[in-house]
Amino acid sequence: MAFTLPDLPYAHDALASLGMSKETLEYHHDIHHKAYVDNGNKLIAGTEWEGKSVEEIVKGTYQSGAVAQNGIFNNASQHWNHAQFWEMMGPNQTAMPGELEKAITESFGSVDKFKEDFSAAGAGQFGSGWAWLVKDKDGSLKVTKTENGVNPLCFGQTALLGCDVWEHSYYIDFRNKRPAYLTNFLDKLVNWENVASRM
């Protein structure tokens, strides 16, 4: 099926007071995400992947151990990543639901330790990529990081929370201060109810 750019689930300026400006979302959603959609549609046209779901394309085109991934994978995975990312944030700060807080505490020792590990993963990702909270195949929760557009689907994991650490996600608002962006993301932008719903 053709990729389509989803509408943001909130207005472009809805996160501005929480640290993600209207300008960032205009560039990030309207230009960067749209480019993954448009390029992905061009690349899958006339191939075996035309008509497949985004998830099938990501899993089917990922090349484990490859130095660089192929164009179809890069655009499909980044389309999927961003579609999740918009939903994982929100303008209405929500408390972490009890079920999620319990699972995080069991896995990391405390919510603060989880946030510390997540921020360290994002800050430590060299170059472009993502930081993730995932539910692994065995049901345990883990913090991971991936390069470029690689995501948890590639490893049979469930993405509960993802943070884009490509510079286009934070440079307008935070310049080169990626750790500050990650702290702000966790403290002010995450829609914890959305995260819990993915469990």
| 117 annotated among ligand-binding-site residues | no
The answer to whether residue 12 sits within a structural domain is no
pLDDT tens per residue across span 104-116: 999 999 999 999 9
Q: What is the pLDDT, as a whole number, of residue 45?
A: 97
Which of 39, 54, 78 lies closest to 1 in space, CA to CA?
54
Q: What is the pLDDT, as a whole number, of residue 157?
A: 98
For residue 52, give its domain range: 21-88
Dihedral angle at the C-alpha atoms of 141, 145, 148, 154, nearest 10 degrees?
-40
Q: Distance between CA atoms of 32 and 124, rounded to whole angstroms? A: 23
Q: What CATH number does the domain containing 36 carry?
A: 1.10.287.990
| 164 annotated among ligand-binding-site residues | yes
Q: What CATH number does the domain containing 190 carry?
A: 3.55.40.20
Asked if 113 and 172 sit in the same domain, the reply is yes
Q: What is the pLDDT, as a whole number, of residue 1?
A: 76
The answer to whether residue 128 sits within a structural domain is yes
The answer to whether residue 5 sits within a structural domain is no
| DSSP assignment of 27-38 | HIIIIIIHHHHH
pLDDT tens per residue across span 31-76: 999 999 999 999 999 999 999 999 999 999 999 999 999 999 999 9
The answer to whether residue 35 sits within a structural domain is yes
Average pLDDT, rounded, for the chain: 97
Q: Is pTM beyond 0.75 here?
A: yes
The answer to whether residue 142 sits within a structural domain is yes
Asked if 84 and 104 sit in the same domain, the reply is no
Q: How many distinct structural domains can be found in the chain?
A: 2
Taking residues 83-94, report their average pLDDT. 95
| 82 annotated among ligand-binding-site residues | yes
Question: Two tokens at 197?
Answer: 């719903």
Query: In Å, how far are 39, 51, 74, 113, 146 from 163, measured between CA atoms?
Result: 22, 28, 17, 17, 11
Q: Could you say which of 68, 88, 108 is where a domain stops?
A: 88
| pLDDT cut 70: percent of the chain above it | 100
